[in-house]
Amino acid sequence: LVFILCASGLVSLAGGAMAEEPVAAFSFNAGVTSDYVWRGISQTDGNAAVQGGVDFTYGGFYAGGWASTVDFGDSTDFEWDLTAGVTGTAGAIDWDLGLAYYAYAGAPSGADYDFVELKAAASHSFEKLTLGALVYYSPDFSGVDETATYLEANGAYEINDRWSVSGGVGRQFLDVTSDYTAWNLGVGVNLTKALSLDVRYWDASYSSALTDARLSATLGAAF
């Protein structure tokens, strides 16, 4: 499926390039969250985080960088991510093939936190409703785990120009530590043209201080 979507998308991109010239664009984002949660696990020990990033697009190509403060209970100061990929449309399906690199500044020697993931995602919009699915694969995951795969189904519904609801359920498969399921459901509101607020509920299939059910509130700015 990934190869079919990729081939179809490349044809689509080639046809689009003939119709109109791609435009290079930069965008920036910054925010603060009450709890940085990733796949059901708090990355800040339940505390607040400051985040921000920059994105570049050129036609169907994109690349970006993003950083956030973290709290792993050790010397790690913050996380920074680099992403790149291509997007396109195959029939009624929007697809995204990408690569992400996660690095952790100040991590203790031997922690082995840094890792790379490959991504394939597809979605379809029904007017105000968008449904999607994605898969992430890592050949050398963070910590003691080696190969890891994450599968997720997600959706979003645009109530009006200001309000929306979204959520997702995913399964993280790990080769050393235990597999688990994580899910989230949230409400977003556009406060101004640049400011937005997201309030989200998170939970996971196993109980720990970092995965117990929790709410997070994120105030973000995009420009």
Mean of pLDDT values over 111-122: 97
Residue 14 has pLDDT above 60, yes or no: no
Listed residue (214, 220, 221, 188) closest to 35, CA to CA = 214
- Whole-number pLDDT of residue 19: 53
pTM for the full predicted model: 0.89
Q: How confident is the model at residue 39 (pLDDT cuts 50, 70, 90)?
A: very high
- Whole-number pLDDT of residue 121: 98
Residue 54 has pLDDT above 80, yes or no: yes
Residue 135 has pLDDT above 60, yes or no: yes
Token pair 């645009």 is found at 158
Query: Domain 2-222 is in which class?
Result: mainly beta
Listed residue (159, 163, 180, 162) closest to 171, CA to CA = 180
DSSP 67: E
- Whole-number pLDDT of residue 5: 41
Q: How confident is the model at residue 8 (pLDDT cuts 50, 70, 90)?
A: very low
DSSP for the chain, please give it.
-HHHHHHHHHHHHHHHHHHS---EEEEEEEEEESS-EETTEESSTT--EEEEEEEEEETTEEEEEEEEE---SSS--EEEEEEEEEEEEETTEEEEEEEEEEEEETPPTT----EEEEEEEEEEEETTEEEEEEEEEESS-STT--SEEEEEEEEEEE-SSSEEEEEEEEEEEESSS--EEEEEEEEEEESSSSEEEEEEEEEESS--TTTS-EEEEEEEEE-
Mean of pLDDT values over 56-76: 97
Mean of pLDDT values over 127-146: 96
Mean of the per-residue pLDDT values for the chain? 92
What digits encode the pLDDT tens for the residues 67-82? 999 999 999 999 999 9
What digits encode the pLDDT tens for the residues 193-220? 999 999 999 999 988 888 889 999 999 9
Residue 26 has pLDDT above 60, yes or no: yes
Asked if residues 223 and 55 have their Cβ atoms less than 8 Å apart, the reply is no
- Whole-number pLDDT of residue 16: 46
Give residue 192's Cα distance to chain centre: 23
How distant, in Å, are the alpha carbons of 64, 65, 102, 123, 134 from that of 83?
5, 6, 9, 19, 16
Q: Spell out the residues 6+ positions from residue 102 whose beta carbon is closer than 8 angstroms to its own.
A: 79, 81, 113, 114, 115, 116, 117, 142
Mean of pLDDT values over 82-99: 97
